Structure 1
C-alpha cells in the first residue's frame, strides 16, 4: 500500500504516460477580497426606522488574464438597501479568484471563466455580504443562490440572436 507521499509524488510527476499530461484541467487556485466598501450613512437613526428596506442588488462578472494559464475572475456585487427616510446601507464588494486552466478549448475556457468559476466563488462572496450586513448592525443579508450556468447560456443565446438580427438582410421578417 502506498503512503501519502507516494501518491503526491505520482500526481506531481513530470510526463504522464499515454499523453495524459495533455488532459484538460481547470480549478480555483486562490480567492480573496480585492475591494470592499460598507457604508452605514444614517446610523444610528436608521436602526429606528420601521419601513421594510428595498434592496437593490447589482451583479457583474469579469475576467482578466494574468498569464497563459491563470486568469483572475471577479464577482462585483453592489447592494443598496433603502427606506423611505433614506439609504440604510450600501455594500460594494469585488470578490476575486485566481483560476488555472490548461489544455481547455476556447469555448470551454470561456464557459469556465464566466459560469463555473463564479459558481465556485459565489458561496464565499455571499458569506462576506452576510457578515458585512450583520457587522453593520442589521440582519444578515443572505443572497439567494444564482444559476450561473443558466445565466451564461441565456447570455450566449442573446448574443447569438443579436448577431443574427444584425446580420439579417434588410426587409427580412
Structure 2
C-alpha cells in the first residue's frame, strides 16, 4: 500500500510516479496589507435622546467579496459587516455600524480550483480578529458597552452563498 493510503502510488504533476519527482505542493501566503476601506458609526440613541432603561437587540450581517489585483498572485478580500442595535421593546434604533475591512493577500502555489474557497474562507478567517477588535473599540468609543463579535463560521457562509447561487441559477434556467 502506498503512503497516501491507497493502492495507487502518488503522482507528480507530470503524471509520473517516480518518488524523486513527487513533491508536495507548497502554498505560500502573505498578508501584504490590511485596512479599513469604509466605516460609519451612528449613535442614533444620543441623537434622539432616548431615555430610561433600554434592552438592546443586535443583528449582524456579513458579506464577503474577493477580487484579483493587478499584480501577480495578489488578491483583495473584503469583509462587509453591518451591526444594527435596536431597543427590544419599542424597536427604536440605538446604533448602526457599517464597516468594510480588507486585506491584500499574496497567494502562490494554490491550484486554481481551490482559489475561490480559499479567498472566501481562509483569508477572512485571518482578518477577523482585527475586525473584531475594531468593532469592539468603535462601540465602546461610541458610548455603548464594547460589542464583541462571536466567531464567524466562514465555511458555513461560503456554503450558504454557493447554495444561494445554485438556486438562483436553477430559477434563471426555468
**Could you tell me the TM-score, scaled by structure 1's length?**
0.74
What CA distance in whole angstroms lies between the structure 1 residues aligned with 2:171 and 2:43? 46
Matched, 1:31 2:34: yes
Say which of 39, 45, 66 aligns to 2:69. Answer: 66
Structure 2 residue matching 1:38: 3-state secondary structure:
strand
Residue ranges of structure 1 left out of the alignment (5+ in a row): 1-17
* Shift of residue 153, structure 1, vs aligned partner: 3.3
Match of residue 84 from structure 2: 80
What CA distance in whole angstroms lies between the structure 2 residues aligned with 1:136 and 1:104? 42
Map residues 90-169 of structure 1 onto 2, 5 A cutoff.
Answer: 90-157=96-163, 159-160=165-166
Report which of the two has the higher share of helix: 1
Structure 2 residue matching 1:92: 3-state secondary structure:
strand
User: Structure 1 residues 135 and 160 mapped into 2: Cα distance closer, same or farther (>3 Å)?
Assistant: same
User: Aligned-pair RMSD on alpha carbons?
Assistant: 2.6
Structure 1 residue matching 2:105: 3-state secondary structure:
strand
* Shift of residue 158, structure 1, vs aligned partner: 5.2
* Shift of residue 166, structure 1, vs aligned partner: 7.2
User: Structure 1 residues 149 and 41 mapped into 2: Cα distance closer, same or farther (>3 Å)?
Assistant: same
User: Structure 1 residues 139 and 66 mapped into 2: Cα distance closer, same or farther (>3 Å)?
Assistant: same
Tell me the matched-pair count: 149
Match of residue 9 from structure 2: none
